Amino acid sequence: MSPSDNNANGAADKDKVSRDQSKKNTVGRNIPHDSAALHVSGESVYIDDMPYQHNEVLVGFLGSPYAHGRIKNLDFSAALKIDDVVALFTYKDLAKNVFGPITQDEILLVEEESQFIGQPIVVIAARTPAAIKAARAAIILDMEELEPILSVDAAIAHERFIDKTYSIARGDIEAAFAEAEHIIEGRLVIGGADHFYLESQAALVYPGELNQLVVHSSTQNPSEVQHEVAHLLGLQLNQVVVITKRMGGGFGGKECQATHVAVMAALVAQKIKRPARMIFDKDTDMRVTGKRHPFQNDYKVAFTADGEITALQARLYADGGAYNDLSTAVLGRALTHIDNAYFIANVDVVGKIARTNFPPNTAFRGFGGPQGIITIENIIEEVANYLGKDALDLRMRNCYGITDRNITHYGQIVANNTLPNLFSELYQSSNYKSRLAKVKRFNAESKTHLKGMSMTAVKFGISFTNNFLNQANALVNIYQDGTIQVSTGATEMGQGVNTNIRMLVAEEFAIDVNQVIVMATSTEKNNNTSATAASAATDLNGAAAVNACRELLELLKPVAARYFAAKEIGIGAFPERIVFEDGHIFDDRRPENRLSFAQLVGMAYRERVPLGARGHYATQGIGFDWSVGKGSPFLYYTNGTCVSEVTIDRFTGDLKVDRVDILMDIGRSINPMINRGQIIGAFIQGMGWLTTEDLRYSSAGALLSYSPTTYKIPNIYDTPPLFNVHTIENECTVNIRGTKAVGEPPLVLAVSTWTAVKNALSYVSGEHIATLATPASGEEILERLTYYAAQNKDGYQSWHGDAEKSPLLARASSRAVGSIRRGKQPKVVAGVAKR
């Protein structure tokens, strides 16, 4: 791998910022992640590394064996007699049993009917793992299996939906289709994905005085855990303290679903007054936690002969699983991202959430945005295939403009739009034209392999779509030796938010970053916080920390001004003349006379000046009204483009990603190398979702691919041999330090690998529009190849044998993957890719 970055060095020198900021050299540097050395040395402390107490118990559970079942009898008297079993609990031991982050519709412990396989029924407290296993086997559970809903189609047929129908519309959709030169319609089936964080769901709970609980939770949302523990156990919020030091990965899977483990452990700790630890093994975690939402999206699109999209009608069906969780918000983001980088004059998009008997699906990096974005990128590939044009020409033609064609279908102006520039720059730097010609020559000559190439874009809105979540608070404490502790609501899951905040705080006081430590996140220090999600953790919490620092600066500058005025007769005490630079403080009229930061802090302390401050930040100028489907829900957009080139083995469907070129607008980086790591990591994770990570279930709804042996995340050998990552010069004037969020947007650029596969298939699809579901696994690709090859039996038999006897052909044909491609009909049906 030979990645490069044109913005990795010298970013601070190029920043055009104010006089004071230009003298501070922290932001813009490549400072190591604050836990990097601890990770490689094994010193990083996760929940299961915390020392065991002598009276501590372990917590497990007995889950439902059925996706939908009714309890007829439950007897755990025998289990209570097992040595080392301490206690067993059911829903009757909870103060409440219904909860949820948006709508309270979820049942924690099954009362009568289970709604997914593994839904907890009995909570087991024991001294050893062996005792938990024995108790689980000894519990007598008599359940009647009921008919489950295990697909979006089944949910639609039974009219089983979560929440209401959501819609966004613009223009005159009926007139646009009536006047259309060309129309195609089809269906895109988008698979889910497991978060596959390295640290499974985990919680350790200590009981305290006055019925208080201290909960150590591997969560992205300590306040949510605090709320649900208090709610379900009948406590006040001030009786529950939740602490998160770090997570071994989260990716959205610990935004809401960390509450389940925390509440079960807290229930045990509350009832038996002993520390309680609950940590899922990987198999359990994968089986019972929610995934990225699968979507089934039906679409109809009108376009001109030169590829301008004039109308889009789409019906999005998200598989929410058994309960809402965050599905409402996930669907909303999909609806607001279905345009992606493209202006469409007439839009009619509607979304519904299917209620199925799977674990409730939840947040996942991108949060619905990828499922919306891949839909329009898929449509553009199909329109290009239909017209016989290169899809990049269509993308650039339909791209949002700078001064016109720059308003989204929900009414927000695409401000500071760098998308046209990103397309044109990457077109040149990636040698797109010459490489496309080589791809065409290769496919014309090779009998064994196919190549495909595609450039896609991302326009990702940054902010929580629920407006009240766009706030944060921070506590900054300065100590007498000039060192600083910072506490915020942000949680560290490896993405480097703590390092970013350290750098922002150090920059404000012009001190070395090593003088700043970001403390473990605690609801005791930072109350009513939002989840570390939506790519907004640094934006919100970093801004809150900076606000706290500036309050302290306003207190420290008069102290310094009085000192220098007393030392230099006649200059007067003017706080506005005080400069903080390189760990020192001086009056800009006498720069040779300096104090160290520690000296100034000591003076302030002796003058009884406060050395701690709480900062608060609330994002301004955003809002959205779902009753009309209009508003400006995002503070800004993070943009990017990406070219992927792939090679497919015609005989096996094996896929190799040969080269990736990424160009992004991420504003001005706080830490360029951390952002670079986020871009690369997000892209590879997205590539896994779209190419290798295949969730397979039994006919009864049991997850079959629940371990690394059957669920394939990308490994080092899956990374493209040539991987170029670049950023452009830009400043986001509405955000802290001109930076832009980079946690989620790069994941969506991996859509280019999937569309590259689709492009490769177009070379063999003949008079059919090439169709594809996600993930584009080897099996999926081979079935497509088999179907298209069968349309030309001579060519098919030459490398697959007898078409009539092929089981692959039978499977592929049954999935209706083909369609008429260039007939004279005004309406063409693009194939329905079904799983």
Catalytically active residues are 744
Amino acid of residue 424: S
Q: With contact defined as beta carbons under 8 Å apart, do 303 and 181 qualify? A: yes
274 in Cβ contact with 57 (< 8 Å): yes
Give the contacts of 78 (CB within 8 A, at least 6 positions apart): 138, 139, 140
- How many other CB atoms are found less than 10 A from the CB of residue 248? 18
User: Does residue 129 have a cis bond before it (omega within 30 degrees)?
Assistant: no
Q: Is 403 exposed, middle or buried (0-12, 13-18, 19+ CB in 10 A)?
A: exposed
**Cα→Cα distances 39→34, 277, 295, Å:** 10, 23, 36
Cβ partners under 8 Å of residue 685, min gap 6? 251, 365, 714, 747, 750
Q: Using an 8 Å Cβ cutoff, are 822 and 386 in contact?
A: yes
Task: Tell me the Ramachandran region of residue 140: left when phi exceeds 0, alpha when psi lies from -120 to 50, beta otherwise.
Answer: beta
Strands 722-727, 655-665: parallel, antiparallel or unpaired by DSSP?
A: parallel
* The pair of three-digit structure tokens given for residue 214, joined into one six-digit string: 């201290």
Strands 471-478 and 612-618: antiparallel
CA torsion 296→302→304→310, rounded to 10°? -100
Q: What is the DSSP string of 665-690?
A: E-BS-SSHHHHHHHHHHHHHHHHHHH
| Torsion angle of the four alpha carbons 782, 787, 791, 794, in this order, in degrees rounded to the nearest 10 | 40
The SS3 assignment for 143 reads strand
Return the closest-CA partner of residue 263 out of 195, 324, 217, 322.
217
CB–CB of 212/269 below 8 Å?
Answer: no
Question: Rounded to an integer, what distance in angstroms lies between the CA atom of residue 459 and that of residue 418?
Answer: 10
**Alpha-carbon distance 375 to 334, whole Å?**
10
- What residues contact 184, with CB distance under 8 A and at least 6 apart? 300, 301, 379, 382, 383, 386, 769, 827, 828, 829, 830
d(CA 322, CA 304): 42
228 closest CA partner among 263, 257, 194, 253 = 263
Specify whether the CB–CB gap between 334 and 371 falls below 8 A. Answer: yes
**CA nearest to 709, candidates 387, 282, 360, 416:** 282
Nearest to 408 by CA among 634, 672, 660: 634
